[in-house]
Structure 1
Amino acid sequence: MKKTILLGIFLAAFISCKEGNKQEEAKAESAALAPVSDAMMENSVIYEANIRNYSPEGTFNAFTKDIPELKKLGVKVIWLMPIYPISMKNRKTTDGRMVEDIKDPAERAKYLGSYYAISDYTAINPDLGTLQDFQNLVNTAHNNGMYVILDWVANHTGWDHKWITEHPEYYHKNAKGEVTDPLNPETGESWGWTDVAHLDYTSKALYEPMKNEMLYWVKEQNVDGFRCDVADNVPTEFWQFAVPKLNEVKPVFMLMESNKPYLFNGIFDMGYGWEAHHLMNDIAQGKKNVSDWDALMEKQAKEYKKEDIWMNFTSNHDENSWNGTEYERMGDAAELFAALTYTMPGMPLIYTGQEYDFNRRLKFFEKDEITHSKGKMFKVYEKLGELKNSNEALNGGKQPADYNRITTSMDKNILAFAREKDGEKVVFVGNLTKEPQSFTLPVEGNFTNYVTGEKVQLAPGQEQKFGPWEYWVLTK
């Protein structure tokens, strides 16, 4: 009997040691990727991965198989939408009902909840796979030269989170002492995010535990940073406390869902290019023109530092689900503005499905996968990604290439600019209207339209004719 017990103990220890060795080997293997640096931010493309809706399976493993495809698009940063367990309490349906009120079990099971109603910050949503599956995704990304950042929701938790009962002092409360959903600080009214409970940083008691939850993913799971949800709704002092602690483990890449200038200062590397995005929509809809674009570029140059990085996008998960696809908002101009996100200063974003010409709003609270049929845009993103990765004239990080506006004879309708750095030069020319345009521009020389491969010979005073939303990305 003693021999049997001893043998069992030995086997358990052996298996445990073997599993531990596997994890250490996996960490060592993925550690071969150089740490996050200013240099990698200059020429990166970022991909927002909606794991639930990326594939029929909706799993880490199904996504991981396609990481080599993302590499073809020049992707260097993978932003994973929240991968954590989702609260059942106060879970919402697509039409705004509460799942708890649905009697039919089959109907109730259809609603998977908001990714942003998190019940445990350091666990994996079992619908997506296991921790080992997640580790395989990170290792595969690292082995393909890509960094992985997690979506971090520091402003609120789901109603099932253990802190609500164990640490109610971490939450905002109403006059009755009840935990509330997030409220508008100016009006005291609910934002409508009733499926989440609002965290309160006033006493700073939450600083240490929230920082530790973030540290787990950097220290134990080797992730490379975070995209921080509604970052400006969380006190700046918390980010100033937490981010240096993360960087002590290894350099991390920090993206904020905000465009507030004060959050850039040594805290976040990149912010949302909301103003440029909304302006693109307005130009595509004929509400604004190139003069408005010029005004925005001048405004940003005055209000932000040169090293502040913008994430440029024509879509993301919020835009797709709530405001429509890029084709709904931009119509035939969608490709031109995609090209603009690569050639303007900053880092371009591809949201799940954009590379496959996916043209439908994804349901936010349900399983609703994309299709994977390569059409026009995969090749466009592939070409643009190749240029972004390789040509210093498109550097968009903390030491960006110069942005020099080129005046044309139709300046309200035609946008032309040159990006230049260390002897490299890329010229963008685009008709930002739905009408054909004839114009001249003061550029001469022999170029290649990088996206199409066509040769372009330019001379000053030479008339150019562009169709609606036609554009060039010219290289020497």
Structure 2
Amino acid sequence: MRAHLLFPLLALAACQPAVKEAATCPPVPAPFTIRHPAWATHATLYQINVRQYTPEGTFRAVEKHLDRLDSMGVGILWLMPVQPIGVKNRKGTLGSQYSVRDYRAVNPEFGTMADLKHLIGEAHRRKMHVILDWVANHTSWDNALIEQHPDWYTRGPKGELVPPVSDWQDVVDLDYSRPALRRYMTESMVFWVKEAGFDGFRADVAGMVPTEFWDATRAELEKIKPVFMLAEWDELHDPPFLPKGVFTPNTHLLEKAFDSNYALRLHYLIDSIAQGKKTTAALPRYFADERRMYPAGVQLMNFTSSHDVNSWDNPESLRYGPNVQPLAVLTTLLPGIPMVYSGQEAASPKKLRFFDKDTINWNGYPLQSFYTTLLQLKKRHPALAAYDPCVEFRLLPTAAGVVAFERRKGPAAVFTALNLTDAPQTVTAPAPPAPYEDVFTPKGVKPGAQQLTVEPHGWRVLSTAE
């Protein structure tokens, strides 16, 4: 999501410049030219909470949803940690999936290694890819590494084990000044790519682990196959919110190893706008800050929910009210990598328990068609591609409570407008480079710049033919 990208962010009232030809597209700066896998260019991430996804809570049960997710347009499945969970100092009855007891084993509650490999194989057969949530920063209190390698752990003033953050009492902090720990962790990640077939990783609290570790690990993984790496971190948001001394910002270093970072600051800005604490007038400033912080080529992950947001902040239906769908349109079609969390296509109002079993009520998938329209557009339209320096992004002037923007690549374009107010609003759609069609109500749109009505808490998406 970015007014970032390699897309020039234009001033709100600026006129659209001539579309650049491919030969004149801005190059990606050399320090950040990691090899993004081609299959990530138009992909949407989909986070799977295996424990809560089905009554069985198993890999085999998740597998039954693959056809539905494939039809919806999902490109990359993100599995929350699949390893055994610590028992000592466990929270709740089942514990946190981020309290890892054995880095190279499968949680028997979810199934076997054979079940996991079958799930990944079936996803690959449908041309989807699968990444694993990786917890490099800390382990459970009963991980065997504590006895085998006690020097790999951070110690307090009396030599005691310590959690990385005071509230995380079910885990203990690892000490990455130990080269042997780094080698073990890299080898463990290589194990899951080779043994199970994973296509990359989502890195938990990535900024709390030295960036040199991630750089070296990415290089090792690339020797096996192209991978996708997602960092749970946002340099516009995270450092000020961590305890003093936990993290010293190293601007942009994560982007040498990761294909995408979280757009956390944008996420919480959207929350504030939806709750009336801020207005849409704050968005241009956000995009300007994002562009200053991140170099060209960086793609942030845009989202309205996740396992953390759902369990600790509330489901999007409670946070956004009638604006759930227009804000999903926003986060899907802005520059970046969109993400959908388990149950969002069910419009699930449930705040899932984090440490206990709490199955999603799918309720007939009422938003399945909505997400299918969005994700399939993202999947196929050239103006919505990530990592493409020839795609341009322009935020357009609007009334308060309305957001409108355009993305173009040559003759291809997508215009998006959403209305977060209680009254109909009028927006001006710029003249398209080719005939537009209304994506959610398929019909032709007359040529030239024009005024469009956007219903209260509604949206309009106009697209040229792909």
TM-score (norm 1): 0.83
Match of 1:452 among 441, 454, 463: 441
The residue that corresponds to 1:203 in the other structure is 178
Q: Secondary structure at the match of 1:206?
A: helix
- Deviation track 1:42-92 (CA, whole Å, cap 9, x = no partner) reads 210110000111001000000012111100111110100011000110011
The residue that corresponds to 2:68 in the other structure is 69
The residue that corresponds to 1:239 in the other structure is 214
The residue that corresponds to 1:13 in the other structure is none
Cα distance in 1 between the residues matched to 2:190 and 2:427: 55
- The answer (yes or no) to whether the contact 1:347–1:397 under 8 Å persists in 2 is no
Cα distance in 2 between the residues matched to 1:360 and 1:179: 36
Match of 1:377 among 367, 377, 386: 367
- Kindly tell me: are residues 463 and 132 of structure 1, through their superposed partners in 2, closer, same or farther at Cα, counting changes over 3 Å? closer
Shift of 1:440: 4.4
- The answer (yes or no) to whether the contact 2:417–2:427 under 8 Å persists in 1 is no
Shift of 1:398: 5.1
Match of 1:143 among 122, 125, 133: 125
Match of 2:416 among 399, 416, 428: 428
Match of 1:262 among 246, 252, 255: 252
Q: Give the letter for the 2:436 counterpart.
A: F
The residue that corresponds to 1:328 in the other structure is 318
- Deviation track 1:98-122 (CA, whole Å, cap 9, x = no partner) reads xxxxxxxxxxxxx110000110011
- The answer (yes or no) to whether the contact 1:345–1:396 under 8 Å persists in 2 is yes
The residue that corresponds to 2:460 in the other structure is 472
Q: Give the letter for the 1:333 counterpart.
A: N
Cα distance in 2 between the residues matched to 1:258 and 1:286: 26
Cα distance in 2 between the residues matched to 1:166 and 1:83: 22
Shift of 1:403: 0.5
Shift of 1:376: 3.5
The residue that corresponds to 2:55 in the other structure is 56
Shift of 1:454: 4.4
- The answer (yes or no) to whether the contact 1:345–1:401 under 8 Å persists in 2 is no
**% identity of equivalent residues:** 40
- The answer (yes or no) to whether the contact 1:289–1:432 under 8 Å persists in 2 is no
Shift of 1:265: 3.2
- The answer (yes or no) to whether the contact 1:226–1:255 under 8 Å persists in 2 is yes
The residue that corresponds to 1:276 in the other structure is 266
Match of 1:117 among 99, 103, 113: 99
The residue that corresponds to 1:107 in the other structure is none
Cα distance in 1 between the residues matched to 2:422 and 2:274: 8
Q: Give the letter for the 1:280 counterpart.
A: I
Unaligned runs of 5+ in 1: 1-35, 94-110, 184-189
Shift of 1:470: 1.5
- The answer (yes or no) to whether the contact 1:308–1:398 under 8 Å persists in 2 is no
Q: Give the letter for the 1:304 counterpart.
A: Y
Q: Give the letter for the 1:60 counterpart.
A: F
Q: Secondary structure at the match of 2:229?
A: strand
- The answer (yes or no) to whether the contact 1:264–1:308 under 8 Å persists in 2 is no
- Deviation track 1:421-475 (CA, whole Å, cap 9, x = no partner) reads 1321000011233443345455478532212324444765x65443322111101
Aligned residue runs from structure 1 range 335-350, under 5 A? 335-350=325-340
Cα distance in 1 between the residues matched to 2:318 and 2:139: 32
Shift of 1:238: 1.3
Cα distance in 2 between the residues matched to 1:112 and 1:213: 24
The residue that corresponds to 1:216 in the other structure is 191
Q: CA RMSD in A?
A: 1.8
Cα distance in 2 between the residues matched to 1:399 and 1:417: 18
Q: Give the letter for the 1:380 counterpart.
A: F
Residue correspondences, number:
414
Cα distance in 1 between the residues matched to 2:208 and 2:254: 15
Q: Secondary structure at the match of 1:249?
A: coil
The residue that corresponds to 1:4 in the other structure is none
Cα distance in 1 between the residues matched to 2:452 and 2:308: 38
- Kindly tell me: are residues 421 and 203 of structure 1, through their superposed partners in 2, closer, same or farther at Cα, counting changes over 3 Å? same
The residue that corresponds to 2:143 in the other structure is 161
Shift of 1:375: 4.2
- The answer (yes or no) to whether the contact 1:446–1:457 under 8 Å persists in 2 is yes
- The answer (yes or no) to whether the contact 1:307–1:399 under 8 Å persists in 2 is yes
Q: Give the letter for the 1:231 counterpart.
A: A
Q: From the two aligned structures, give the one with the greater helix fraction.
A: 1
Cα distance in 2 between the residues matched to 1:439 and 1:74: 29
Q: Give the letter for the 2:271 counterpart.
A: N
Q: Secondary structure at the match of 2:408?
A: strand
Q: Secondary structure at the match of 2:312?
A: helix
Cα distance in 2 between the residues matched to 1:133 and 1:210: 24
> Which deviates the most, 435-444 or 282-291?
435-444
- Kindly tell me: are residues 308 and 440 of structure 1, through their superposed partners in 2, closer, same or farther at Cα, counting changes over 3 Å? closer
- The answer (yes or no) to whether the contact 2:207–2:254 under 8 Å persists in 1 is no
Q: Give the letter for the 2:234 counterpart.
A: N
1:360 aligns with 2:381: no
Cα distance in 1 between the residues matched to 2:203 and 2:437: 39
Cα distance in 2 between the residues matched to 1:298 and 1:449: 29
Cα distance in 1 between the residues matched to 2:160 and 2:279: 49
Q: Secondary structure at the match of 1:86?
A: coil
Unaligned runs of 5+ in 2: 1-34, 236-250
Cα distance in 2 between the residues matched to 1:239 and 1:466: 45
Shift of 1:155: 0.5
